[in-house]
Amino acid sequence: MERKLIFKRMVKSKFFMTGFLVAVFVVIISILSPLLANFDPTANALVDRLKSPGIAGHILGTDQLGRDIFSRLLMGSRYSLLIALVVVSLAAVIGTFLGLVSGYFGGRTDTLIMRISEIFLSIPQLILAIAIMAMLGTSVFNLVMVLVITSWTQYCKLARNNVLVQKNMDFVHASQVMGAGNMHIMLTQIFPNITTPLLITISQQFGMIIMVEASLSFLGLGIQQPTPSWGNMIADGRTYLTTAPWMVIAPGVALMITVLAFNFLGDGLRDVFDPKRT
Amino acid sequence: MYFRYILRRLGQTVIVLFFISILAFALIRIAPGNPARMMLPDTATEEQVHAKEMEMGLDKPLYIQYIKYIGGVLRGDLGTSASYQTSVGSIIADRFPATLLLTAATILVSLLISIPIGIIAGIRQGSMVDFLAMLFALIGQSMSTVWLAVMMIYIFSVKLNLLPALGMGGIKYLILPAITLGYPLAAQVTRMGRSGMIDVLREDYITATLAKGIPESRVYTKYAFKNALIPIVTVVGLQVGYFLGGAVVVETIFSWSGVGQLANQAVGNRDYALVQSLLLVIAAGFALVNLIVDLINAKIDPRITLE
């Protein structure tokens, strides 16, 4: 498709533009968070505990230990986004590669990879993540690993289905006849044709990973206190729901806006590249 | 044809179950600490630990241990829970009905809301109703279960004082957890119903029935709806996996004593035997649900069996 046309569609798609602008905004805020945070996000100040928003420079109030919620929110965004970025990149590379191999070679390789991915698909993501985290113990490394293990199948399935369509096309046969290597054909001939659905999946998975990480952190199996994350902030606030509802509302709204932005982006991309199925 | 399809799907399910059992078995090996010591009080001596190791067969090669483990599982013996000091099987069986009830209520609530919305949105594609339906769906897919649960309690229990926040009892106690767990499913079914409807309405046979003068409402409900239903059945099946995961969060927050809450407690208590068995039981349950869903789908649309 023509570049100009794609750009025109992007600007016209409300979903895409909203998602794109909000996502960019969230990313910029989280990069600039050390400059924007006006308090130390992990410093306790028991005198100032459970202050409501707006009091004494605490824009969004303070939590049960007197820590500034606005600063924690900003710091939490860094962890959430960075983890999602690392997880999505790793899972996309691993999953796409296995999917390409599986679809391209077929036969036993395909059966093996498909059986493995079926097993991972047949265990509910959060349950597997909880079991592994409980056994391995909590650390950021384990968290990333668990999230990759439970999400690579998405990309694998997608890449495989697309390869199955592509591999019998004339341009692939032509490359084979000209003696191009399998790896070369997979990466330079077939892969470029699946970038669009891949981009849509990545965008949706980004939001998904942020949510799963929040659930794990909420259950105490993700990011550990005193490091702030949106999930563990909601867990903290749950106990003070009647007296300090802002403790829950702030991280929840941030979580929703961020995930919504990436889902809008994914939907918008679909509109832009495939306008007949809006 | 259908019979051969059943056999093939059964075979696949057995293979998946086999690997799940290996995964569950391997998981407890990578857990820190000595499994024999876990079963004993802190005051146990080295000799007692050693005796327990022999009793549990930990000195045998891994494949023997696995055979012993799987043999036990097949006879319904899932081991002993360290924190409850009773059989894991009976603990899980105790908690299962509560989760089943919650899951049933969740599916019911979300389908009742989402199917009509999705179908109307599909028929009136591009209208205001359609836009609102899509917004409802996108928000549902972007709402973290954790936050939704806490906000439900805040709005309906703390502020409005309409519904109980915690515990189990009559229907009143079921409403908040079911809506919390069901919203993401409702969101997805709304989208499936909508796109299914749009696809079906493009088909020639729909144009033909409309041209014949059969009333629109009848065409939609009688002809189009049935075909838009197939992907929905699949989604509900796949979402059961999500429920079982989401149930951990929702049951924990709403103090619903089901399998999900049990999983969270087991993790907190470092009760590895219980965590392992929950993984096994939940994954096996999910695999069976998907098997059933596939068989139902193949019955609705026999073309599936030709794949």
* B31 reaches A (C-beta below 8 A): yes
User: Which pLDDT does position A259 carry in this prediction?
Assistant: 92
- What would the mean pLDDT of B255-268 be, rounded to a whole number? 87
Q: What percent of chain A has pLDDT over 90?
A: 18
ipTM of the complex in this document: 0.81
Only one residue has tokens 């096309």, namely A169
A196 burial level (CB within 10 Å; 0-12, 13-18, 19+):
middle
B66 and B100 share a domain?
Answer: no
Q: What percent of chain B has pLDDT over 90?
A: 2
**Chain A residues 240-259 within an 8 A CB cutoff of chain B:** 241-242, 245, 248-249, 251-252, 255-256, 259
Of B27, B145, B244, the CB nearest to A215: B145
Distance CA A221, CA B255 (A): 19
**Type of residue numbered B98:** A
B33 and B125 share a domain?
Answer: no
B191 and B236 share a domain?
Answer: yes
| Separation in Å, CA of A238 to nearest CA in chain B | 7
Question: For the segment B269-278, what is each residue's pLDDT rounded down to a tens digit?
Answer: 878 888 888 8
Confidence of residue A276 (pLDDT cuts 50, 70, 90): low
Contacts of A94 (CB under 8 A, 6+ apart): A148, A152, A155
B68 and B191 share a domain?
Answer: no
- What would the mean pLDDT of B7-12 be, rounded to a whole number? 86
- What would the mean pLDDT of A51-60 be, rounded to a whole number? 73
Give all strands (DSSP E) within B166-289, no chain letters: none
Which sign does the torsion angle of CA B177, A203, B136, B151 carry?
positive
* A138 reaches B (C-beta below 8 A): no
Distance CA A217, CA A19 (A): 25
B116 and B247 share a domain?
Answer: yes
Distance CA A24, CA A154 (A): 25
User: Which pLDDT does position A277 carry in this prediction?
Assistant: 47
B60 and B100 share a domain?
Answer: no
User: Which pLDDT does position A278 carry in this prediction?
Assistant: 42
Q: Which domain holds residue B26?
A: 2-74
User: Which region among B29-38, B269-278, B292-301 has the lowest average model confidence (pLDDT)?
Assistant: B29-38
* Three-class secondary structure of residue A68 per DSSP: strand
Tokens found for residue A234 = 């909601």
Of A133, A214, A241, the CB nearest to B154: A241
Most confident of B37-51, B141-155, B158-172, B291-305: B141-155
* B23 reaches A (C-beta below 8 A): yes
User: Which pLDDT does position A89 carry in this prediction?
Assistant: 95
Q: Residue A126 and residue B287: Cβ atoms within 8 Å? A: no
> B87 lies in a domain?
no
* B22 reaches A (C-beta below 8 A): no
B56 and B194 share a domain?
Answer: no
Give yes or no for a contact between B109 and B174, defined as CB atoms under 8 angstroms apart: no
Tokens found for residue B275 = 């965590």
- What would the mean pLDDT of B70-96 be, rounded to a whole number? 83
CA distances from A120 to A102, A109, B54 (A): 16, 17, 33
Higher pLDDT: B49 or B148? It is B148
Most confident of A13-27, A84-98, B97-111: A84-98
> B222 lies in a domain?
yes
Number of domains in chain B: 2
User: Which pLDDT does position A88 carry in this prediction?
Assistant: 95
Give yes or no for a contact between A216 and A130, defined as CB atoms under 8 angstroms apart: yes
Of A136, A245, A255, the CB nearest to B154: A245
User: Which region among B57-66, B219-228, B242-251 has the lowest average model confidence (pLDDT)?
Assistant: B219-228
Q: Residue A242 and residue B158: Cβ atoms within 8 Å? A: yes
Nearest residue in chain B measured CA to CA from A115: B16
- Residues pairing with B87 in the sheet: B80
User: Which region among A169-173, B3-7, B209-213, B228-232 has the lowest average model confidence (pLDDT)?
Assistant: B228-232
Most confident of A146-160, B236-250, B269-283: A146-160
> B249 lies in a domain?
yes
B41 and B131 share a domain?
Answer: no
State the best of B16, B142, B145 to mutate against chain A, taking most chain A CBs within 10 Å: B142
Query: Long-range contacts made by residues A45-53, C-beta under 8 angstroms, separation at least 24?
Result: A50/A240, A50/A243, A50/A244, A50/A247, A52/A244, A52/A246, A53/A246
> B152 lies in a domain?
yes
Q: Residue B272 and residue A135: Cβ atoms within 8 Å? A: yes
> B85 lies in a domain?
no
> B257 lies in a domain?
yes
Q: Residue B195 and residue A118: Cβ atoms within 8 Å? A: no
B59 and B110 share a domain?
Answer: no
Task: Sort out which chain B residues have CB atoms less than 8 A from A214's CB and list them.
Answer: 144, 146-147
Total Cβ atoms within 10 A of residue B150: 25
- What would the mean pLDDT of A190-202 be, rounded to a whole number? 85
* B16 reaches A (C-beta below 8 A): yes
Higher pLDDT: B217 or A81? It is A81
User: Which pLDDT does position B225 carry in this prediction?
Assistant: 75
A188 burial level (CB within 10 Å; 0-12, 13-18, 19+):
exposed
B164 and B20 share a domain?
Answer: no
B198 and B248 share a domain?
Answer: yes
> B131 lies in a domain?
yes
- What would the mean pLDDT of B157-184 be, rounded to a whole number? 83
Task: Sort out which chain A residues have CB atoms less than 8 A from B188's CB and list them.
Answer: none
Give yes or no for a contact between A43 and A74, defined as CB atoms under 8 angstroms apart: no
Distance CA B171, CA B100 (A): 14
* B154 reaches A (C-beta below 8 A): yes
State the best of A16, A18, A130 to mutate against chain B, taking most chain B CBs within 10 Å: A130
User: Which pLDDT does position A83 carry in this prediction?
Assistant: 93
Tokens found for residue A266 = 């994914």
Higher pLDDT: B69 or B42? It is B69
| Separation in Å, CA of A119 to nearest CA in chain B | 5
User: Which pLDDT does position B200 carry in this prediction?
Assistant: 80
> B166 lies in a domain?
yes
B98 and B67 share a domain?
Answer: no
Q: What is the largest CA-CA distance in chain A?
A: 76
Confidence of residue B304 (pLDDT cuts 50, 70, 90): low
Q: What percent of chain A has pLDDT over 70?
A: 97
Q: Residue A122 and residue B287: Cβ atoms within 8 Å? A: yes
CATH number, domain of B222, equals: 1.10.3720.10
